[in-house]
């Protein structure tokens, strides 16, 4: 297939937002079954519908040539894909040139074997999801996961020199009592912590309304104990960060439901099937896989402009009595969190 010629073009959507951040879901599969993310029994995509390493790498090249400066690899669980090390190396070649950052979101279960290789390929920061420090609770939330593997992965990440941010989905009645202990634990290990509101994506066989915990309440609770100072920096994602009095750890909040963050959204997402979604909260998408397989990269180029025109002003997530259990049928693992 043809190589992508470098260009200095940049991508701007219909509302003037500059789009320079691409999240790529490299697989819909996962070795865990977190209750808020997946159903216990999932039907995964057949292999021929999932982009090959070569296809993902070519599309990444194309987006980088069009102005993407930051790529996050996610899933599903990205590290269950056997060719991940090659993919990371391949995309990592752009670092220091037309790509500023390559990052990864992982559940950490296979991080011990991958951490050093990720660092060698140029990855410097990773997000690791961890919703509880209790082995029993972790096993409950993930439907059978072993926390010791994540802990080994986190040790390996630290040894390899990767900066770690812990992602914790705040769940009422499940882990809300662990939020402060988790913040202290992160601080003691040199990690940052981002709290996430549960989003109504995909049928999980459970009612999220029962466990929805507005982060405005959590922030209030923490504020009564520690002073929080808003930090100006953003990391290209939707989180807003705070310095915590007396701690080195930064605390982030991702609040799609209580505080809409769309006005400065710079992101687009590619699913493992090669569909480009301009918003996690909308069904509109453009199918790049069909174009790539039928017409090569030339057929894909014009689709980028079509995708940019699709970017909506805002998502439309709601949760509660008036909202359906899953606002969108897609699971987060398909579009990539
Ligand atoms: N498997 C990897 C992991 O767990 O980090 C990467 C994919 S996962 C879909 C990415 C992030 O999305 C995780 O931090 C996870 O907790 C979060 N997530 C999944 N489903 C969610 C939901 N319905 N609402 C909010 N966050 C969700
Ligand atoms: Fe797997 Fe991540 Fe979803 Fe948990 S949140 S089921 S680890 S994809």
Is 12 inside any structural domain? no
User: Which pLDDT does position 285 carry in this prediction?
Assistant: 87
pLDDT means over runs of 10, the chain (337 residues): 56 77 96 94 95 97 94 97 97 97 98 98 98 98 98 98 97 94 97 90 70 88 94 73 96 75 77 87 84 94 83 56 50 58
User: Which pLDDT does position 81 carry in this prediction?
Assistant: 97
Is 11 inside any structural domain? no
Cβ proximity of 168 and 130 under 8 Å: yes
User: Which pLDDT does position 325 carry in this prediction?
Assistant: 46
User: Which pLDDT does position 132 carry in this prediction?
Assistant: 98
As given in the structure block, the two tokens for residue 325 are: 């259990």
User: Which pLDDT does position 324 carry in this prediction?
Assistant: 47
Is 165 inside any structural domain? yes
Provide the pairing of β-strand 228-230 with 240-244: antiparallel
Provide the pairing of β-strand 267-270 with 21-25: parallel
Is 219 inside any structural domain? yes
User: Which pLDDT does position 321 carry in this prediction?
Assistant: 43
Q: Which residues pair with 102 in a beta bridge?
A: 71
Q: Is 14 helix (H, G, I), strand (E, B) or coil?
A: coil
Q: Which pLDDT tens digit goes with each residue over 288-306? A: 999 999 999 999 988 988 8
Ligand with an atom nearest the CA of residue 196: 1
Name the closest-CA residue to atom 4, ligand 2. 34
Is 33 inside any structural domain? yes
Relative to the CA of 105, which ligand 2 atom is closest?
Answer: 2
Question: Which residues are within 8 A (CB) of 21 and not within 5 positions of it... i.e. 6 or more apart?
Answer: 68, 69, 70, 71, 72, 236, 237, 266, 267, 268
* Alpha helices for the chain (secondary structure H): 53-65, 84-92, 111-120, 135-141, 147-160, 179-189, 215-223, 288-310, 332-335
Assign residue 128 the CATH number of its domain: 3.20.20.70
Location of structure tokens 């320079």: 20
What is the CA(198)–ligand 1 centre distance, in A?
A: 9
> Could you give the maximum distance between any two Cα atoms of the chain, in Å?
59
Is 18 inside any structural domain? no
Which residues line ligand 1 at a C-beta cut-off of 6 Å?
30, 36-37, 74-75, 77, 105-107, 129, 167, 169, 196, 198-199, 201, 332-333, 337
Relative to the CA of 131, which ligand 1 atom is closest?
Answer: 16
What is the CA(44)–ligand 1 centre distance, in A?
A: 17
What is the CA(112)–ligand 1 centre distance, in A?
A: 20
Is 16 inside any structural domain? no
Question: Total structural domains in the chain?
Answer: 1
CA angle 5, 9, 13 (to 5 degrees): 130
Q: Which residues pair with 230 in a beta bridge?
A: 242
What is the CA(287)–ligand 1 centre distance, in A?
A: 23
Residue 294 structural domain: 24-335
Which residues line ligand 2 at a C-beta cut-off of 6 Å?
30, 32-34, 37-38, 75-77, 107, 129, 333
Report the residue among 24, 26, 31, 34 best suited for mutation to probe ligand 2: largest number of ligand atoms under 8 A from its CB. Answer: 34
Is 9 inside any structural domain? no
User: Which pLDDT does position 46 carry in this prediction?
Assistant: 97
As given in the structure block, the two tokens for residue 309 are: 């025109």
Name the closest-CA residue to atom 3, ligand 2. 37
Q: Which pLDDT tens digit goes with each residue over 115-135? A: 999 999 999 999 999 999 999
């Amino acid at each position: 297939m043809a190589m992508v010629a470098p260009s200095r073009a940049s991508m701007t959507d219909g509302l003037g937002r500059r789009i320079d951040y691409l999240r790529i879901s490299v697989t819909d599969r996962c070795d865990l079954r977190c209750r808020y993310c997946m159903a216990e029994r999932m039907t995964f995509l057949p292999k021929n519908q999932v982009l090959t390493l070569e296809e993902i790498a070519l599309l990444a090249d194309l987006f980088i040539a069009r102005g993407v400066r930051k790529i996050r690899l996610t899933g599903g669980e990205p590290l269950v894909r056997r060719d991940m090390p090659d993919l990371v190396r391949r995309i990592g070649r752009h670092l220091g040139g037309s790509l500023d950052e390559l990052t990864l979101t992982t559940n950490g279960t296979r991080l011990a074997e991958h951490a050093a290789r990720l660092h060698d390929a140029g990855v410097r920061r990773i997000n690791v999801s961890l919703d509880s420090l209790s082995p029993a609770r972790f096993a409950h939330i993930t439907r059978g996961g072993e926390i010791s593997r994540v802990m080994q992965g986190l040790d390996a990440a630290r040894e390899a020199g990767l900066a770690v941010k812990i992602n914790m989905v705040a769940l009422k009645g499940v882990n809300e009592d662990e939020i402060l202990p988790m913040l202290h634990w992160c601080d003691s290990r040199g990690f940052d912590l981002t709290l996430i509101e549960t989003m109504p994506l995909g049928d999980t066989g459970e009612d999220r309304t029962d466990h929805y915990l507005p982060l405005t309440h959590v922030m209030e609770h923490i504020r009564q104990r520690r002073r929080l100072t808003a930090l100006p920096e953003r990391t290209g994602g939707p989180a807003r960060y705070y310095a915590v009095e007396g701690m080195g750890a930064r605390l982030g909040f991702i609040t799609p439901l209580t505080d809409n963050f769309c006005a400065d959204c710079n992101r687009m997402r590619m699913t493992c099937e090669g569909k480009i979604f301009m918003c996690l909260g909308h069904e509109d998408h453009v199918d790049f896989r069909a174009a790539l397989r039928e017409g090569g990269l030339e057929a894909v180029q014009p689709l980028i402009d079509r995708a940019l025109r699709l970017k909506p002003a805002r998502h439309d997530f709601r949760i509660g009595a008036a909202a359906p259990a899953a606002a969108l049928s897609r699971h987060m693992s398909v579009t990539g969190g």
